[in-house]
Amino acid sequence: MIMFSKNKCFLLLTCMLLFSALQSSSPAQELLFTTLDVEKGLNSDQVTSIIQDRRGFMWMGTPNGLTVYDGVKCYSLSDGDTINPLIPNNHVNSLLEDRQGNIWVGTAAGLSCIAPDRSSALFFEADPSAEGKLTSSYITSLFEDDQGIIWAGTSWGLNAFDVQQSTWKRFLFDLEQKGSEDKNRIWHVAGDPDGSLWIATDSGLFKLNTRTYEHHLIRQQQGQNDGLISNHVRSVAFDQEGNLWIGTLGGLDLYNPHTLKFTHYYNQNDSADVISKNRINVVFIDSDQRIWVGTEWGLNLFDPHFGRATGYFHDDHLTGSLADNNIISISQDRSGVLWFGTYYGGVNSFVPNNLIFKHERMGTPAAKSAGQEINMMFPAGKDSVCIGTFERLYFWDTRRNSLSAFPIEQQAEIFQKGSLVRAGFRDRDKGYWFGMIQGGAAGVIHIDRHGNIKRYHHQPDDANSLSSNEITALAQDSSGTIWIGTDGSGLNCLHPPSQKIDRYDGYYEFNDRLGGKWISSILTLQNGQIAIGSDGGLSIYDNRTKHFNTFRNKSHLSNDRVSTLYQDRKGLLWIGTESGLNKFTGDSLIEQYGHNQGLPSSPIQAIVEDEKSDLWIATGNSLIEMDGASGSIRYFDRHNARFMNNFCMNAAVASRDRLFLGTRNGLVHFNPADFVARTEPPSIAMTLISKFDQPLFEGIHAAEVKSLELPHFENMISFEFAVLDYIRPEFNRYAYYLEGFEEKWNSAVKTNSVRYTNIPPGHYVFHVKGAGSQNIWNETGISLDIAWIPPIWMTTPFRIVSILLLALLIFFSFRLRLRRLENEQQHLEEMIRLRTFELEDKNKLLEASRKRYQSLFHEAPIGYLELNFDGVIIQENRTAAELLGYSIDEMVGKPIFDFVAAEEVEDARRHFYQIVIVNANEGRIERRYQHKNGKPVIMAVKYKTVRDDFNDNSIIRVTLQDISEMVKLQDQLHQAQKMEAIDRLTGGIAHDFNNILTIIRGYCSLLMQKNDGDPAVLKTAERIDQAGVRAEQLIQQLLSFSRKQSLQPRQVNLKTLLENIHHLLERIIGNNIRLELKCEEKSCSIIVDPNQMENAVINLVINARDAMPEGGVLSIEIFPASFKRLYVYENFSIKPGKYTALIIRDTGVGIAEQNLTSIFDPFFTTKEKGKGTGLGLSIVYGFVKQSNGYIDVKSRPGEGAEFCLYFPCAPTP
């Protein structure tokens, strides 16, 4: 590294601070116009008037007829149309669409009114001597006032059309005065908000009150400023403040109707900052209140605040300039596009939204083109952006919109000859780092906040130097480390405090190393990781693990050559490559964006995010806006602004609501919020209907067609349609389908036509929808009803006649055939008679056999059923029906599950479907059924599957035998045996345990009486006594279980009950087990015997304690539970209702799976002999069931056990 002297540093800082700001002195912003002329279908290159009709078509008047334009094609209307002429003369001067949708066409030889359906027109003749007629056939201007009256300005007077009388009212000004010819030669008619007309003439400006017909003439006042600048007035326009802008042959006038003051604007000495020519043809104020002035020499955008104008002219060497300088008409369509009619160059259109893009040249206007290419850009503070070109460093002041430059070539000590800046950033200490290539200053230059300068470069013999002097990328991570990318020599990591440099070489074959050697971009991510883009893909470096993770195009990226990186506010990493855009979500998932998302697969140069979180993506030839919410795409390129191409790599910055992008030709900057997005969907129109490629309807006539009827043989039809959006017609999109012939929409991007052939006769509807260049779809679209008339042989009358003829033919054929059959019938009758006797004998034998079978079947001692594989009874004998108290008709056709006891339905279904699925052939089970009288019936069920997979006639044969009495006897025997055992147990407990309790409670009573007043001892004695009482209650519970004594239930708050025995439970479980109690406040009260409830909890807690000999966690949880339908879990089910759930969960040894079904049985225990009786869980189970509750257990060996008790909520008062 090299240190420079303080004197040289001072010189550097002085140059940076004292270099004067370079205000952009580039020529006026060049607008990009699109031209429509004769070569593209316009009737003439002279366009006198332009309007957009209610459907969206553009109408353009020329001296050679009327042109209607749909964005794709031009359609001509002329006075030579012999079938249906719509205009009286080809020389069209003025156009107007009134509020009813009529199009008024003023020509040099009369006036016509075209009907809204464009099928016909009314013509109005001129007769200067006849009242009710036009004063002149030369129509110059048309206007509709707020009352719907049509005003026609002519070469001789003004005319108003009376709709009721269909006559014209005539206005001729000052006929008796000198110069009346000039006063009645009208050039333009406009109306103000007050309802008055302003009439431009060759003798000044008339103001006419349309209600009183009083008029006032405003003229030029020689030597004074309170009159017109010229009496030859050509155009009038009102701004939103009510001011009147007047275009004359002597300049532009601003008239304030309130103060009656004039302001004159005119060109005296061919000044470049005023209107380009004083002879003004038209003045127009657009929807954004911009004032456009069309002159005989150029188009002017006038700024009323500064009184200056920007001129736009034709340039033979500049594509997209005005086609002609003589502007004679201006209009604006509903999408905001401005249309400029010229005298010799057709019509020129321009999109005002493109004005938001500003272009700045670097340095002076004479700067070389090499000095315009921006290689680097980064924020240099709150209000500054640092910009680097091949020749200089600049600082753009975002607050003042000014450019200042620091001349690199003058600092030979630092930026030696031939060196170029390629990368840079401003560090946390407000110092600057620049990466250089080529020349003597190649390497890294650091200028700290005090002006001290250091240079880091490659030294072949020093391993602690940079790996290369060709620097392509720089970044600083969260720890202050500087990351340096090189052109072909990998990555360097500079640690400023120690000045140590680590080198990382690129490995194209490993995913855990740096991906490539050519580093294009380095980015510090929000999580502190470092993202590196190279010719070997994307590499992510983790500062904690000191490892790389590399992603390549084999499984992730669209291309290995990464050009730029950007992380948005959401933390998503966007990767630009030579083959398109990729999104990295942070979990190794990379999503590619290409043609399916509307993005090109061209190289991505730079990415930046605006205030709305929309992404702006710069490619080599275009700028793309991607909506951050919807992902929709909008394109900007050379069709929007001349300089919208050749964007440079990694040269994009957002600052103070503006976006800055570097190109090879300077700086582009704009505020995305200034872009006025269209919200209304564009209009769609049918523009051509053809059969066999011969037009039926075309242009505006096709747009009015609602239905079509064609003969069956004319079944080849073609349609053309247009989205009437003129912003970028080439990007308009379409979708269409022929209802009745197709089932889904067809997409069309680059075509607006479709052809159908061989359509069968019938009724169809052709639908079209579309979207403009801003991707707003008109989902309603348009439709056309089409009926193809079937041929005569497919009509109903023809079919009826054909059927009748066929019937007659069949009838006579039948009669002939019948005669032959009569002879054969007599012979057959005799043979049939003989065979009948034989069949009758056989039928009698069969009937006797059938009755014998039915008797055996229905009188069998066991029930018999046949089921299909859905469980539906398809056949049964009478015995089966009688076992359940039903008739055969009541059971056949119903599922067998309808007759199973409710508590076993789910198990019956599960067992049945197991038979069907696992192909069980036969088996035996016992099942509880429901008798018709409501009593349960226990059946021994035997089944056998008879499969017929080929004919799908598989059945299950079932026999039923009532074993209810046998089961009852078994239950009684089992119950007697159990009761005998329990009686012996409880007798022993009552004798021995009561003696022990008597001694314990006696000593406890003595302890309480002899206590010397020690509260702790007294409290302990009381707890011992309470435990003795509970022990007596436990004996009573055992007796209750064995003798089935009645409980004493009442309403109990389970939370309060648990809190009362909390200390007792802690003593029971000991110190090596942690007790956790969780009770929700919303838990409802339950109806139980509180004493038995406590015993049940203590029983379960003791079991949990014994399952955790090494200690653990015992949790008791109470919460409300609700079941809207029958809840079934394995062998456990709960009826619908509201419950309070009590969950006792331990972390002990768990319960073996084979023991889960037996733990509630009396005397079942897994404890060692003498350590458990096996009655605890049986008592709990019996108590829960007696309390109308439910109990379940879940456990796995080694994972603890969980007992779930559900008690119905007590009814609310």
- Cα 913 to Cα 875, 910, 930: the distances in Å are 20, 5, 21
pLDDT digits (tens, 9 = 90+) for 376-434: 999 998 889 999 887 788 889 988 888 887 645 444 455 566 678 899 999 999 999 99
Listing DSSP states for 1-53 in one string gives -EEPPHHHHHHHHHHHHHSPEE---PPSPPP--EEE-GGGT-S-S---EEEE-
Residues 6 or more apart in contact with residue 88 via CB below 8 angstroms: 79, 105, 107, 109, 110, 111, 112, 123
Supply the pLDDT for residue 989: 65
For residue 1019, the SS3 value is: helix
The CB density around residue 512, as the number of other CB atoms within 10 Å, is: 10
**Average pLDDT of the residues in 769-786:** 90
Supply the pLDDT for residue 781: 93
CA 322 to chain centre: 41
Dihedral of alpha carbons 812, 817, 819, 822, sign:
negative
Q: Where are the alpha helices (DSSP H) in 595-710?
A: 700-703
Phi, psi of 781 (to 5 degrees): 65, -155
What is the Cα–Cα distance from 42 to 77, expressed in whole angstroms?
A: 11
Does 588 have pLDDT greater than 80?
A: no
For residue 404, the SS3 value is: strand
- Amino acid at residue number 1070: G
Look at residues 951, 933, 954, 934 and name the one whose alpha carbon lies nearest to residue 943: 954
Percent of the chain topping pLDDT 70: 89
pLDDT digits (tens, 9 = 90+) for 662-696: 998 889 999 998 887 777 899 999 999 999 989 99
The CB density around residue 619, as the number of other CB atoms within 10 Å, is: 23
Q: 20-34, 179-193, 813-827, 1052-1066: which range is least confident on average?
A: 20-34
pLDDT grade for 79, boundaries at 50, 70 and 90: confident
The CB density around residue 116, as the number of other CB atoms within 10 Å, is: 15
Supply the pLDDT for residue 364: 62
Dihedral of alpha carbons 902, 904, 910, 913, sign:
negative
Supply the pLDDT for residue 468: 94
Beta strands in 139-271 (DSSP E): 139-144, 150-154, 158-162, 167-171, 186-191, 196-201, 204-209, 215-218, 233-238, 244-248, 251-256, 261-265
- Cα 673 to Cα 610, 614, 658: the distances in Å are 9, 11, 9
Supply the pLDDT for residue 1038: 56
Look at residues 1083, 1094, 1093, 1212 and name the one whose alpha carbon lies nearest to residue 1139: 1083
pLDDT digits (tens, 9 = 90+) for 972-1027: 456 445 545 655 665 556 556 766 777 787 778 877 777 777 787 788 887 887 77
What is the Cα–Cα distance from 1091 to 113, expressed in whole angstroms?
A: 101
pLDDT digits (tens, 9 = 90+) for 893-904: 999 889 998 888
69 close to 76: Cβ distance less than 8 angstroms: no
941 close to 960: Cβ distance less than 8 angstroms: yes
pLDDT grade for 1044, boundaries at 50, 70 and 90: very low
The DSSP bridge partners found for residue 756 are 717
Q: SS3 string of 846-891?
A: HHHHHHHHHHHHHCCCCEEEEECCCCEEEEECHHHHHHCCCCHHHH
Supply the pLDDT for residue 23: 40
pLDDT grade for 157, boundaries at 50, 70 and 90: very high
Supply the pLDDT for residue 920: 65
**Average pLDDT of the residues in 1109-1127:** 85
The DSSP bridge partners found for residue 763 are 787
pLDDT grade for 26, boundaries at 50, 70 and 90: very low
pLDDT digits (tens, 9 = 90+) for 612-626: 999 999 988 889 999
What is the Cα–Cα distance from 169 to 664, expressed in whole angstroms?
A: 63
Domains by residue range for the chain, with CATH? 1-26+361-505 (2.130.10.10), 513-540+553-672 (2.130.10.10), 684-794 (2.60.40.10), 861-955 (3.30.450.20), 963-1045 (1.10.287.130), 1047-1213 (3.30.565.10)
* Number of residues assigned to the chain: 1213
pLDDT digits (tens, 9 = 90+) for 903-947: 888 888 888 887 766 666 788 888 889 898 888 888 988 888 887
Look at residues 293, 302, 349, 409 and name the one whose alpha carbon lies nearest to residue 15: 409
Q: What is the overall mean pLDDT for the chain?
A: 85
pLDDT grade for 1030, boundaries at 50, 70 and 90: confident
Beta strands in 55-195 (DSSP E): 58-62, 65-69, 74-77, 92-97, 103-107, 110-114, 121-124, 139-144, 150-154, 158-162, 167-171, 186-191
Cα-based angle 381, 386, 387 (whole degrees, multiple of 5): 165
Supply the pLDDT for residue 1021: 80
pLDDT digits (tens, 9 = 90+) for 1139-1197: 999 999 999 999 888 887 778 776 677 777 656 666 678 788 878 888 888 888 898 89
For residue 832, the SS3 value is: helix
Does 537 have pLDDT greater than 70?
A: yes
Supply the pLDDT for residue 981: 61
Residues 6 or more apart in contact with residue 673 via CB below 8 angstroms: 611, 612, 657
Q: 100-114, 848-862, 1142-1156: which range is least confident on average?
A: 848-862
Does 1133 have pLDDT greater than 80?
A: no
Percent of the chain topping pLDDT 90: 43
Look at residues 552, 653, 559, 641 and name the one whose alpha carbon lies nearest to residue 604: 559
What is the Cα–Cα distance from 1112 to 1110, expressed in whole angstroms?
A: 7
Listing DSSP states for 319-344 in one string gives TTS-S-S-EEEEEE-TTS-EEEEESS
Supply the pLDDT for residue 17: 36
Residue 552 DSSP one-character state? -
Supply the pLDDT for residue 4: 38
| 777-789 and 707-711 beta bridge pairing | parallel
Supply the pLDDT for residue 1035: 64
**CA atoms within a 13 Å half-sphere pointing along the CA-CB vector of 728:** 21
Supply the pLDDT for residue 528: 92
What is the Cα–Cα distance from 1117 to 1204, expressed in whole angstroms?
A: 10
- Amino acid at residue number 116: P
Supply the pLDDT for residue 389: 84
**Average pLDDT of the residues in 464-475:** 94
The pTM of this model reads 0.62
Supply the pLDDT for residue 313: 94
The DSSP bridge partners found for residue 404 are 21, 395
Does 735 have pLDDT greater than 70?
A: yes
673 close to 769: Cβ distance less than 8 angstroms: no
What is the Cα–Cα distance from 41 to 76, expressed in whole angstroms?
A: 8
Supply the pLDDT for residue 1043: 45
Supply the pLDDT for residue 9: 38
Supply the pLDDT for residue 509: 76
Residues 6 or more apart in contact with residue 499 via CB below 8 angstroms: 1, 464
Q: 155-159, 516-520, 1155-1159: which range is least confident on average?
A: 1155-1159
pLDDT grade for 11, boundaries at 50, 70 and 90: very low
765 burial type by CB count under 10 A (0-12 exposed, 13-18 middle, 19+ buried): middle
pLDDT digits (tens, 9 = 90+) for 794-806: 777 878 888 888 8
